[in-house]
Structure 1
Amino acid sequence: MDRIETKASGGCQCGAVRWHVTAVNDSSHICHCRMCQKAAGNFFAALIGVPRDALTWTRGAPATFASSDKASRGFCRDCGTPLTYDYHESRHINLTTGSFDEPARFAPKMQFGIEGQLPAFANLPIQAEGTTESTMSSVVGVIRASNHQHPDRDTARWPE
């Protein structure tokens, strides 16, 4: 994954959380997995990796939800804007592409988690890299075993 030196900024919808980056990874992508769908409240999450040393929070900081024991999702506690996907053992953190001030600069190049892809998006002109199982095989079992998200069904109480 190539590091691209750049200058970019972004933040949440209400402006309570802002950030600046000095580099991004050549990894702009969308993820169709069910965890990303739920975290984004959408059909997929659009993300780009940023080296940890290239990210500075310039106003506020995201609240986080531990979506598993290995990863957390960052969001603005005031307006709810999804901001990050952070796999803790990675050298980078993923920022939501839509939270960049100029998201068109970072168009997605790849798709992941295609096992969760809705049929309406089956013919996107972006290279499909594979399922969550195939692209994250070394950690997917641990993430699934420690999943803290509510299941896709009603429950009498939560956590179960």
Structure 2
Amino acid sequence: MTVQSIRTMTGGCQCGRVRYTAEVKPEKAYLCHCNMCKKATGGVSIAFVNPPKDKVEWHSEPDWYQSSPIARRPFCSHCGTPLGFDFVEGGKNIDLTVGSFDDPTPFRPDHNYATESMLEAWADVRHLKGYTSAENTKVVEMWKAAGVEPPE
């Protein structure tokens, strides 16, 4: 049996305008494969964690997009970072995007959701060759020419 720990973690958007603190269970993250989430993020799926709304403190209020008659999504209108998913009525919890946390390394996927829309070709990519960012010398040179070190 796995013990699930509640951790207080911080996160926010890419530009730093929207910030939050949340009490989460990192072992209970999940991947959503629904077509709406794919469109909302531009990805093949999105990783979420689902803490209670009363355990999320927005230090600066996100913008909200009413993505359907039943749901809305927090985001930053300045940099475009998707921050989550929230039911308009009745939901006690809110989804926060795993990638918007300052340190997403503790998160572990617990399940997949909306598997009817899952893109099977993207389910397991371990067999593909991998490249580090540092191996892309042209991009590294562009960052250095801009006067900064390349991000990880």
- The TM-score range, normalised by the shorter chain, is 0.7 to 0.9
Alpha-carbon distance, 1:12 to partner: 0.3
1:68 — aligned with what? 68
Three-state SS of the structure 2 residue aligned to 1:81 is coil
Three-state SS of the structure 2 residue aligned to 1:21 is strand
Trace 1:71-86 onto structure 2 (pairs within 5 A): 71-86=71-86
User: Which structure would you say has the larger Rg?
Assistant: 2
Cα distance in structure 2, aligned partners of 1:4 and 1:35:
30
Structure with more of its chain in strand, by fraction: 1
Q: Is the 8 A contact 1:26 1:49 kept in 2?
A: no
Cα distance in structure 1, aligned partners of 2:55 and 2:125:
30
Give structure 1 regions of 4+ aligned residues with deviation exceeding 2 angstroms: 2-5, 22-27, 121-125
Alpha-carbon distance, 1:122 to partner: 3.8
Trace 1:49-128 onto structure 2 (pairs within 5 A): 49-58=50-59, 60-88=60-88, 89-123=90-124
Alpha-carbon distance, 1:65 to partner: 1.1
Q: Is the 8 A contact 2:10 2:101 kept in 1?
A: yes
What is the CA deviation profile of residues 49-89 of structure 1, one whole-angstrom value per residue up to 9, with x for unaligned ones? Answer: 0111111011x211111111111111101000000100232
| Percent identity of paired positions between Structure 1 and Structure 2 | 38
Cα distance in structure 1, aligned partners of 2:105 and 2:23:
17
CA RMSD of aligned residues (A): 2.1
TM-score scaled by structure 2? 0.73
2:33 — aligned with what? 32
Structure 2: where are the runs of 5+ without partners? 127-152
Q: Is the 8 A contact 2:33 2:112 kept in 1?
A: yes
Alpha-carbon distance, 1:24 to partner: 3.9
TM-score scaled by structure 1? 0.70
How many residues are aligned here?
123
Three-state SS of the structure 1 residue aligned to 2:78 is coil
